[in-house]
């Protein structure tokens, strides 16, 4: 079984755009769907160490991929950054990446966190959050346990079509097989406290409010709520 503390296939990564070499010697053009302070530090340190200027265009993955498709061979993009393995796989299927052979990247990034045409540089844990007044701790130890009949009417989640949940499902297929994962998904649906809606923050708030007893969310959403000064 997969423990809740393990990250499923949720990661941020990048691919090198492959139509032609666009970057000037002292500039690199990044199309990024990530908007985090940690990235600001990454880009700043890169420029400081190399002298190479980082130019960014930021938008959602689908918008960036559509832009690259429309720009074709004239796209200025050098690097595409996405927030999830499923998005990187979609981009790879479009054929926009150039193969990258880097001994340094291969040494520093484990094989299960990279593919032929892209590399990951961060992972995120998709964890189980629960209301201790409604759910026992032993019921919140594994993803598979969320499908237990004991949690009927207790589970909240965002849409199953969201990349975060698609990647979680893919991880379960890898660990448990297709048949067991299909049964798990049916069990999750049978245990819904409500129809899927909202994002991860909404699921955590619903657990806190007692609308549902248990949910799945990326860990940093909980950290944001815990550190927020907003009353809601």
Do 61 and 142 sit in the same domain of this protein?
Answer: no
Q: What is the pLDDT of residue 187?
A: 98
Residue 1 lies in a domain: no
Using the predicted structure, report yes or no on whether residue 4 has a pLDDT greater than 80.
Answer: no
Q: What is the CATH number of the domain that holds 85?
A: 3.40.190.10
Do 18 and 107 sit in the same domain of this protein?
Answer: yes
Do 117 and 131 sit in the same domain of this protein?
Answer: no
Do 28 and 104 sit in the same domain of this protein?
Answer: yes
Q: CA-based angle 71:27:50, to the nearest 5? A: 145
- 117: which 2 tokens? 């045409």
Residue 232 lies in a domain: no
Residue 2 lies in a domain: no
Using the predicted structure, report yes or no on whether residue 5 has a pLDDT greater than 80.
Answer: no
Domain of 55 in residue numbering reads as 11-123
Task: Express each pLDDT in 28-40 by its tens digit.
Answer: 999 999 887 788 8
Do 87 and 170 sit in the same domain of this protein?
Answer: no
Do 181 and 223 sit in the same domain of this protein?
Answer: yes
Residue 85 lies in a domain: yes
Last residue of one domain, picked from the residues 76, 99, 123 = 123
Do 76 and 91 sit in the same domain of this protein?
Answer: yes
Task: Express each pLDDT in 36-87 by its tens digit.
Answer: 778 889 899 999 999 999 999 999 999 999 999 999 888 999 999 998 888 8
Residue 3 lies in a domain: no
Do 21 and 114 sit in the same domain of this protein?
Answer: yes
Three-state helix/strand/coil letters over the chain: CCECCCCCCCEEEEEEECCCCCCCCCEEEEEECCCCHHHHHHHHHHHHHHCCEEEEEECCHHHHHHHHHHHHHHCCCCEEEECCHHHHHHHHHCCCECCCCCHHHHHHCCHHHECCCEEEEEECCEEEEECCCCCCHHHHCECHHHHCHHHCCCEECCCCCCHHHHHHHHHHHHHHCHHHHHHHHHHHHHCECCCCCCCHHHHHHHHHHCCCCEEEEEHHHHHHHHHCCCCC
Do 108 and 76 sit in the same domain of this protein?
Answer: yes
Residue 205 lies in a domain: yes
Task: Express each pLDDT in 119-158 by its tens digit.
Answer: 988 888 999 999 999 999 999 999 999 999 999 999 999 9
Residue 105 lies in a domain: yes
Task: Express each pLDDT in 169-195 by its tens digit.
Answer: 988 999 999 999 999 999 999 999 999
Residue 22 lies in a domain: yes
Phi/psi-derived region of residue 38, left when phi > 0, alpha when psi is between -120 and 50, beta in every other case = alpha
Last residue of one domain, picked from the residues 106, 123, 140 = 123
Q: What is the pLDDT of residue 229?
A: 81
Q: Are the C-beta atoms of 84 and 15 separated by less than 8 Å?
A: no
Q: Are the C-beta atoms of 33 and 87 separated by less than 8 Å?
A: yes
Distance CA 217, CA 207 (A): 11
Distance CA 14, CA 84 (A): 10
CA–chain centroid gap for 49, Å, is: 28
Do 119 and 106 sit in the same domain of this protein?
Answer: yes
Last residue of one domain, picked from the residues 79, 102, 123 = 123
Do 203 and 152 sit in the same domain of this protein?
Answer: yes
Do 20 and 72 sit in the same domain of this protein?
Answer: yes
Name residues whose C-beta falls within 8 Å of residue 15's C-beta, 6 or more positions apart in sequence.
79, 80, 88, 91, 92, 96, 97, 100, 117, 118, 119
Phi/psi-derived region of residue 101, left when phi > 0, alpha when psi is between -120 and 50, beta in every other case = beta
Global pTM? 0.76
- Tally of domains in the chain: 2
């Amino acid at each position: 079984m997969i423990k809740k503390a393990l990250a499923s296939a949720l990661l941020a990564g990048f691919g090198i755009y492959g139509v032609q070499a666009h970057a000037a010697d002292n500039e690199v053009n990044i199309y990024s769907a990530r908007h985090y302070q940690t990235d600001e530090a990454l880009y700043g340190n890169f420029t400081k160490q190399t002298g190479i200027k980082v130019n960014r265009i930021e938008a959602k993955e689908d918008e960036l991929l559509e832009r690259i498709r429309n720009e074709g061979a004239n796209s200025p993009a050098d690097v595409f950054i996405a927030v999830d393995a499923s998005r990187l796989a979609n981009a790879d299927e479009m054929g926009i990446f150039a193969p990258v052979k880097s001994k340094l990247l291969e040494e520093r990034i484990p094989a299960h966190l990279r593919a032929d045409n892209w590399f990951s540089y961060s992972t995120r844990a998709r964890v189980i959050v629960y209301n201790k007044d409604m759910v026992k701790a032993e019921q919140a130890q594994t993803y598979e346990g969320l499908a237990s009949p004991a949690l009927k009417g207790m589970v909240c989640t965002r849409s199953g079509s969201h990349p975060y949940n698609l990647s979680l499902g893919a991880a379960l297929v890898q660990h448990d097989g297709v048949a067991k994962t299909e049964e798990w998904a049916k069990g999750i649906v049978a245990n819904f406290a409500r129809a899927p809606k909202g994002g991860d923050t909404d699921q955590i708030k619903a657990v806190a409010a007692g609308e549902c007893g248990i949910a799945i969310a990326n860990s940093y959403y909980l950290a944001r709520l815990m550190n927020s000064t907003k009353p809601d």
